[in-house]
Structure 1
C-alpha cells in the first residue's frame, strides 16, 4: 500500500466510525506503526481534514474534505452501483470487501443530490453464486497479476488428469458460472485458460514475467480469435 492509499484508507476508517479510534487500532488496520499513524494524522490535518483528538485518547473525524465532490450523472451512478454489487456477489471475499469499501468512499465524496441516487438505487445483481470462488487461489492470482510474477499450479483437466504447470497469468475472468485465469503455459508453449475450481494447488513464484504484462495481454487477445475449445 502506497502512502497515498494509506492516507485515503485512514480517512475512510475515521469517517466510518462515530467514536474516537486509537492510534494503535488504526495502526493495526493499516498495517503500519503507531508513529506512522501520528504522522499521517498530521498530514491529513494539513490538507484540510478536521480530525480531533490526541495520543492516548483517540482520533475522530469531524468535517472537512480533501477532495471536491465528484460529479456523476444518474446513469453513471447506476453503472457504478450495479458493478460494485455484482463484484460483492461474485468476487472472492477480499474483492467483495473491497467493493463495499469502494461504495462507501464514492458515497462520501459525491454531492448531496448524487448521494440520494446512490443510496436509494434499486438496481441489484444476483446474490447467489452458481459456483464457489476459491478465495485463496483467486487472491493469489490477482496478486501475481499485479506483481507480474509466474505461478506454479497443480491442475486437473476435463479428463481428470492432473498435471503440474508453470504459467504466466495475464487475465482473470469472473464469469457467471466459473472463474478462469488466462495465462501462457510453459508446458504447452501456448496460451491456455484454467478454471479456478480445477486448480488443486497454487504456488506463487518470485520469477518475474519475461515480457511486460501489457504485451502478453495483447498477444493473448490475438490468440483467442483462433483458439480451439477445451485446450489444456
Structure 2
C-alpha cells in the first residue's frame, strides 16, 4: 500500500470509530507495525489533522475534520454496489429505488477509472423470491423511527390472535426472508420484535415519545446486551 493511501485509510479508520482506536488495532487493519502507525499519526498531526490521543491509550479524530468527498477505492465502490443490490432485492419500492439512485449518483461523480467497478462489479447478489408477503406500507414505520413518534399496530400473532399495540419503534431490521420492527411495547412493558408480514395496519400516532434523543436506542442496546448475556449463561 502506498504511503499516501495508508494515511488516507488511517484517517478513515479513525473517522468510523467514535471511541479511541489503539495503535495495535490500526496496525492490524493496515498490516503494518505499531511503530509505523505512531510515525504516520505524528505526520498527520504535523499536517494539522485534528487527531487526539497518545500511545497506549488510543487515537480519535476530532469533530469537524473534512476530506474531499468520494475518494473511494475499488473495494469501497464494489462494497457500495453490493450493498445497494441487496437492498434493492429485499426492501420496499421506495428504499429499493433510493439504493439504485445512490449508485447512479456515485457513478456520475467518481473518476473514470472507478466506473468499471460500478458497471461490472466482481461481486453480486443472487436474486431471490423469498421477500415477505406484507399487506402494509412500511414507509410510516421509517417515518415514526426518524421523527421519534409512537406507532399503533394492528398485529396478528403466530397463533392468529389480533391485538392493537402502541409501540415506540427503535429500528426496522431486514433479513433474507422477513423484516422485524424492534420496539418498546406499551402493552407488554418491554422490548418486542414485530414481523411486518403480520401487521394488518401501522399508523403513526400524533404523540411523540417522551424521551430525550437517543435515549430509546440506548435502552434497547442495554436490553439487547442483557438478553445476549442471559442466552450465554443458559448455554
Q: TM-score, normalised by structure 2?
A: 0.64
Does residue 138 in structure 1 map to residue 141 in structure 2? Answer: no
Q: In 2, Cα distance between the equivalents of 1:202 and 1:146?
A: 15
- Which whole-Å CA distance do the structure 1 matches of 2:97 and 2:133 have between them? 14
Following superposition, the deviation at residue 135 of structure 1 comes to 7.4
Give how far 1:127 is off: 2.0
Structure 1 Cα separation of the partners of residues 77 and 211 of structure 2? 37
Contact 1:152 1:203 in 2 (8 A): yes
Measured in 2, the distance between the counterparts of 1:126 and 1:204 equals 35
Counterpart contact for 2:157–2:198, Cα < 8 Å = yes
Shift of 1:138: 1.6
**Aligned-partner Cα distance in 1 for 2:224–2:160:** 24
Per the TM alignment, residue 70 of structure 1 is displaced from its structure 2 partner at its CA by 2.3
Partner of 1:175: 175
Aligned residue for 1:168, secondary structure, equals strand
Q: State yes or no: 1:116 paired with 2:123.
A: no
Size of the aligned set, in residue pairs, is: 162
Runs (5+) with no aligned partner, structure 1: 1-67
CA contact (8 A) 1:69 1:109 kept: no
How far 1:158 sits from its partner (Å)?
A: 1.8
Matched, 1:86 2:114: no
Matching of residues 89-100 of structure 1 within 5 Å: 89-100=89-100
* Structure 2 CA distance for aligned equivalents of residues 70 and 211 of structure 1: 36
Work out whether residues 89 and 126 of structure 1, in 8 Å CA contact, stay in contact via their aligned partners in 2. Answer: no
**C-alpha contact (below 8 Å) 2:86/2:125 kept by paired residues:** yes
Q: Secondary structure at the match of 2:207?
A: strand
1:14-59 C-alpha deviation (Å, 9 max, x unpaired): xxxxxxxxxxxxxxxxxxxxxxxxxxxxxxxxxxxxxxxxxxxxxx
CA shift for structure 1 position 212: 3.3
Q: 1:93 to 1:203 in 2, by over 3 A?
A: same
Q: For residues 162 and 131 of structure 1, what CA distance do their matches in structure 2 show?
A: 23
With over 3 angstroms needed to count, the CA separation of the structure-2 counterparts of 1:129 and 1:147, relative to structure 1, is farther
Structure 1 counterpart of 2:210: 210
How high is the TM-score relative to the length of structure 1? 0.65
- The offset of 1:126, in angstroms, is 2.7
Distance 2:220 2:176 in 1: 22
Task: Indicate the residue corresponding to 1:46 in structure 2.
Answer: none
Distance 1:77 1:194 in 2: 34
Q: Secondary structure of the residue that 2:104 maps to in structure 1? A: helix
TM-superposed deviation, 1:196: 0.3
Note the residue ranges of structure 2 that are not aligned, 5 or more in a row. Answer: 1-67
SS at match of 1:137: coil
